[in-house]
Amino acid sequence: MKQYKVTIISLIVLAVALAGYFLISGLVGGDSSNDDGDQIRRERVLAFHPNDVVKIETHYKEDFVLEKIDDKWVCTSHDDLRVHEPSVIAILNSYANMQGNVVVGEDETIIAENFGFHDDPSTFTIYLKDGKTHTLVLGNTTLSGSEIFCMFAGGDKVYKISGTYASRFQVTRATITTNKVFPNINKDRINTIELVRHGEPKYIIRGDFSGEEKAWKLTYPFTIRGDNVQINALVDTLMGLTVGDLVNTNVEDLSEYGLDVPVAKYIVKDNQTTRTFEIGGRTSDGYNRYCTVNGENHVYLVAMSKLSFVDNEVTMYMNTYPFLENQMVLSNVKLNIQGEVWNLDYEVTETDENYWFNGVNVNRPNKDLRSQFKKITTAMYSLRLEEIDLEEPQPKELICSIEYTRTDNSKVLVEYYKRSENTCYIFVDGEFMNGMIYTRRIIGDTSDSLINVVKNFESMMNEN
């Protein structure tokens, strides 16, 4: 008798489980036949070309209208939004390639509430050049949560598509915008970075693509080689720069935010695009500044902590070294300090290094002076531009000249002419470097001045 009771109870439990399964399956619009591979039909949901879309309307938590104007996507429903075009294009490309499983076909009845189409569903509408309109209606997710039901308004099919599409078609501000200041600039193709402070240009940096590797140079306030390391760091900072909260839109009087004449304005160009970033006054709490992007009249906040680079002096982005190359490229250096001349010869490879001082090998039989010799090279290389001088140079007497000869016989002549009692002009191959160096670096009394480094080494060479 107990065995029969157990059997009856088991049958009842099984019947309840099956009834529950079919009830839930019906509520979400699924049917058991869809799990049968022989009856599933997978097809492209909508065939269209993304370039043919001229307008998008979306309905989710907030409604948006995007229109293509002069080949650019603009949010006509929200003037304050700067559309991130790559995001919009990515949504359309994803839509054009989207495939789904047909859950309900042409000859079957669609019960809207079974799929979540009945209670103010999310929609994604596209308008094409030929005048056609397609409204995609999004319904419930499946029990697994990995897929979502959809259909076209007025259509006769229900599809089951990947749930990843939901985040694309259920459009929010974050979906179609970016808080990056320079989102459309190609970092590798940047050719100009310009900083304007209080309406006056401070510096202009240009990319030089003529060599095997991209280099930088300053072209304002004068022309000089750029410091590639520092400028690349500036590029990384600018490309990662983001704005914060939106403060106000369609502002008529930007002076209220210190943006009529910005404190600083960056102009960044690549081979196709120019974008600007304008920085205005501080907020009352001192933690942010007001800013605009591309000269638009929508005012945002930008954190002060992100703007420390704005105060960098132009010298940071200059290559202030007249000559700074690996010793392996050197063959000879002719050093002249106030008329006294020394000849330095170099033979440096990856595995060995040899040096000659006035024709004598510094690797002496009784003493190896190669490390001390290299201090001369370091002292010569360190004679760099220390301050900018934009006035027309009036060189007086020659204090020092260094002629570097490379292994390919090319030469670079660096000359230091007296500017005042304490400073020297710097010339490279006859061209003024637009700056000066303190004379004590060359002929000062300290042990690290160039003349004393050379004299001390000469004394060591003369020792027995």
The string of pLDDT tens digits covering residues 104-155 is 887 788 887 889 898 889 999 999 999 999 999 999 998 888 899 999 998 8
- 145 shares its domain with 33: yes
Residue 417 has pLDDT above 90, yes or no: yes
CA nearest neighbour of 215 among 223, 224, 207, 205 = 207
Residue 19 has pLDDT above 50, yes or no: no
- 48 shares its domain with 169: yes
6 within some domain: no
- Average pLDDT of the chain is 88
- 105 shares its domain with 225: no
- 214 shares its domain with 251: yes
Residue 464 has pLDDT above 80, yes or no: no
Residue 424 has pLDDT above 50, yes or no: yes
Contact, 330 vs 405, CB < 8 A? yes
- What is the structure's pLDDT at 366? 84
- 347 shares its domain with 419: yes
- 223 shares its domain with 162: no
31 within some domain: yes
- What is the structure's pLDDT at 126? 97
* Total domain count, the chain: 3
Among 317, 347, 382, the domain boundary falls at: 317
276 within some domain: yes
Residue 167 has pLDDT above 80, yes or no: no
- 126 shares its domain with 219: no
- 55 shares its domain with 105: yes
pTM of the model: 0.63
181 within some domain: no
Residue 426 has pLDDT above 80, yes or no: yes
- What is the structure's pLDDT at 23? 38
- What is the structure's pLDDT at 332? 98
CA nearest neighbour of 277 among 211, 343, 188, 179 = 179
CA nearest neighbour of 307 among 284, 277, 273, 268 = 277
Per-residue pLDDT tens for 272-307?
889 999 999 999 999 999 999 988 888 999 999 999
244 within some domain: yes
Among 176, 200, 217, the domain boundary falls at: 176
- What is the structure's pLDDT at 39? 60
Give the position of tokens 């033979």: 347
- What is the structure's pLDDT at 175? 83
Token pair of 400, please? 């020092």
Selected residue with higher pLDDT from 39 and 21? 39
80 within some domain: yes
Q: What residues contact residue 454 under an 8 Å CB cut-off, 6+ apart?
A: 335, 337, 342, 376, 379
Confidence category of residue 179, pLDDT binned at 50, 70, 90: confident
SS3 string, the chain, reads CHHHHHHHHHHHHHHHHHHHHHHHHHHCCCCHHHHCCCCCEEEECCCCCHHHEEEEEEECCCCEEEEEECCEEEECCCCCCCECHHHHHHHHHHHHCCEEEEEECCCCCCCHHHHCCCCCCEEEEEEECCCCEEEEEEEEECCCCCEEEEEECCCCCEEEEEHHHHHHHCCCHHHHECCECCCCCCHHHCCEEEEEECCEEEEEEEEECCCCCCEEEEEECCCEEECHHHHHHHHHHHHCCECCCEEECCCCCHHHHCCCCCCEEEEEECCCCEEEEEEEEECCCCCEEEEEECCCCCEEEEEHHHCHHHHCCHHHHECCCCCCCCHHHEEEEEEEECCEEEEEEEEECCCCEEEEECCEECECCCCECHHHHHHHHHHHHCCCCCEECCCCCCCCCEEEEEEEEECCCCEEEEEEEECCCCEEEEEECCEEEEEEEECHHHHCCCCCCHHHHHHHHHHHHHCC
- 302 shares its domain with 379: no
Question: Within 10 Å of residue 391's Cβ, how many Cβ atoms?
Answer: 7
Residue 9 has pLDDT above 70, yes or no: no
- What is the structure's pLDDT at 257? 97
Among 127, 150, 176, the domain boundary falls at: 176
345 within some domain: yes
Domain range holding 414?
Answer: 327-462
- 302 shares its domain with 344: no
- 29 shares its domain with 139: yes
- What is the structure's pLDDT at 25? 40
94 within some domain: yes
Confidence category of residue 159, pLDDT binned at 50, 70, 90: very high
* For residues 307-318, average pLDDT: 92
- What is the structure's pLDDT at 177? 82
Give the position of tokens 């304002």: 220
Per-residue pLDDT tens for 345-368?
999 999 999 999 999 999 988 889
Per-residue pLDDT tens for 52-72?
999 999 999 889 999 999 988
- 101 shares its domain with 205: no
